A and B are shown apart, each in its own frame.
Chain A
Amino acid sequence: MKKTNFTAHVIINIIFIILCAMIVFPFLLLISVSLSNEQDISKYGYSLIPVHFDLSAYKFIFKNPQSILDAYKVTIAFSVLGMIMSAFAMAMIAYPLSKRNFNGKSFVSFYLFFTMLFSGGLVPTYILNTQYLHLADNFWIYILPSLVSPWFVFMMRSFFQGLPAEIGEAVLIDGGNEYTIFFRMVLPLSKPVIATVSLFTFLGKWNDWYVSMLYIDNNKLISLQYLLQRTLENLELIKNSTFMNKEVLSSMQEIPSETTRMAMAIVVAGPAVLVFPFFQKYFVKGLTVGSVKG
């Protein structure tokens, strides 16, 4: 019995080591290529260990860092601001929903829930944002359309419902009102759920390339991930003539080489990959939080 347990453990650990190696392998490949010598790449192809250690790709990037710095600035700005505004707005709508005596409870729930089931889709949204709201090439396009996510609202609502109702009653008896309960009691007591929702929102915004690709033409306003995407596309775009647009033509003179591309990926993805796992606890909590019914 003991012996089979031991071998089983060894086998499971071996499987996990293989799995983890498969997870880590693409990261190592990117790092290795970014540290390689351009000639080695064309001679031997990409390899897991650089043939000659070479920092010239990073030197090239940091010699002319303006576009990366701009993208970092914009991305940090809309991620942080969007995270705070979203979390606050969602708490504002989740709190009334968590009150048993709120007379608009079922209406507001359905109002939110319906948007999870049915949507106008890409085209009407695009026309609305560009032609009517004039949000194209505007910083607020990153924040306003995605301000309220019904899923997170319901998550917050479940958490608020779990808070003891006596707190609210006590405030009302002491002469306070719903604002007092919300700002002075519910918000401070709900740090765990606010942290979880904020982190999910932050991650989603940090990884955004879609909004940038759709709405932003101004090079000073593009997000980090979209800058990365364009770095990868550059060479291809010229071959693929159906996809000509002005921003590509303007940046054509500086076609990045293979190692520079991969170094870009490291510079863009590296900080996030190193930081986000520390918040893993909250992400996991967000997934396993109980019922979020409408």
Chain B
Amino acid sequence: MRTQIKTKPLHKIRKLDRNQLYLWSLCIIPMIFVFVFSYLPMGGLVLAFKKYNYSQGIFKSPWAGLNNFKYFVLSSDFTRVTWNTIYMNFLFIVFGVATSLFVAILLFELRSRNVTKTYQTLLITPHFLSWVVVAYMAYAILHPQNGFLNVIIQNLGGQKIDWYLKPEAWPIILVIASVWKCVGMDSVVYYAAMMGIDSSLYEAAEIDGANKWQRTRYILIPCLANLIIILVILKIGGIFRADFGLFYQLPRNVGKLYATTDVIDTYIFRAMRVNGNIGMSSAAGLLQSVVGFLLVLFTNWCAKKFDQDNALF
């Protein structure tokens, strides 16, 4: 590159440099925003080692050493929120992948594009809702007195159940809600991958007398295996981050349900907003960020080992 520039006439060099400057000038403003809103908070992680005091600010507040971490790790909440986060994310991955793959295969088997489009549009609609609206729907179904589910239970001669006091039911409820909202959009990725499969494979199988099930089992699934594995690996990278909206809006912050619905993100939020415990909540946040970061690096390394082209970076 350098030798190339040297051989060019002088006015061309100036022009080139000026254009570099123009390029920098284009990206400098967005970069400042990224610095302020993404990099400055990283500096604020020092809060995790401080006894924060609003009047003294981040830097003048006294140091607390590792006390914040000690409080968080030794509290009974620690195991609960960590377990809930990992366990629920695990369920979301398993059921999310299974259902969206199932839907994608069925969509693929429907050869009429118009029908496929109609189904797909309907299945994607929940993606456009906020968790608040989904919480209303869950509420309409699960309401202790009037809820649809309780009306049915009562009509069948059963006792009404107050779902908002039954923590053991919530893992299932949350999985259903998550699948309900995401299945349409998630299946799109698989569906698009299936459309990319060479159709001659299919025709050959058909000539050899393979039925639909055999074609799915021996052509579709093996062709998609790489994509599925990569997506799962990358999802595992985010297993320490919970979808705050889902876990905050649906159980509606009911204390009775914390046993199964309290995750790291909701815990940090409550520790900060309700209990005002800045030090401990930022310690929990720092732990989450660091562990999450290491996990992403690790899972990406796995993905790379598995398939060079599909790793995130």
Contact = CB atoms under 8 A, between A and B. Distances in A.
B139 A232 contact: yes
A30 B136 contact: yes
A45 B145 contact: yes
A55 B29 CA distance: 51
Contacts of A23: 122-123, 125-126, 180, 184
Interface stretch (B74-82, B167-175, B251-259): B251-259
Interface stretch (A66-74, A246-254, A267-275): A267-275
Contact of A115 (B19, B34, B135, B297): B34
Contacts of A123: 44, 47, 268, 272, 278, 281-282, 285
Q: What's the dominant secondary structure at chain B's contact region?
A: helix
Interface centre among A8, A104, A117, A233 (most CB of B within 10 A): A117
B26 A122 contact: no
Contacts of B121: 277, 280
A95 B296 CA distance: 27
A29 B139 CA distance: 11
Given A30-B137, A293-B313, A178 B289 contact: no
B40 A288 contact: no
Interface in B165-206: 180, 184-185, 188-189, 192
Nearest to A112: B34
Contacts of B31: 93, 108, 111
Interface string A223-261: 001101100110010001011000000000000001001
Contacts of A118: 42, 289, 292-293
A163 interface: no
A112 B47 CA distance: 24
B27 A97 contact: yes
B124 A127 contact: no
A176 B288 CA distance: 49
A65 interface: no
A66 B47 CA distance: 41
A164 interface: no
Interface residues of A, number: 102
Contacts of B192: 284, 287-288
Contacts, number: 278
Nearest to A208: B130
Nearest to A293: B313
B146 A236 contact: no
Contacts of B212: 4-5, 8
B58 interface: yes
Contact of B132 (A96, A126, A203, A232): A232
Given A120-B289, A277-B125, A46 B38 contact: no
Given A30-B136, A127-B58, A283 B268 contact: no
Nearest to A88: B30
Nearest to A264: B136
A118 to B, nearest CB: 5
B45 A124 contact: yes
Contacts of A12: 106, 109-110
Interface string A24-36: 1011011001000
Interface of A: 4-5, 8-9, 12-13, 15-16, 19-20, 22-24, 26-27, 29-30, 33, 41-42, 44-48, 89-90, 92-93, 95-97, 99, 101-104, 108, 111-113, 115, 117-128, 131, 133, 144-148, 150, 153, 172, 177-179, 182, 203, 207-210, 214, 225-226, 228-229, 232-233, 236, 240, 242-243, 258, 261-262, 265, 268-269, 272-273, 276-277, 280, 283-284, 287-288, 291, 293-294
Given A111-B34, A210-B244, 14 more contacts: A9-B110, A23-B126, A26-B137, A29-B140, A45-B150, A93-B30, A97-B27, A103-B20, A123-B282, A131-B57, A147-B30, A226-B132, A228-B133, A272-B128
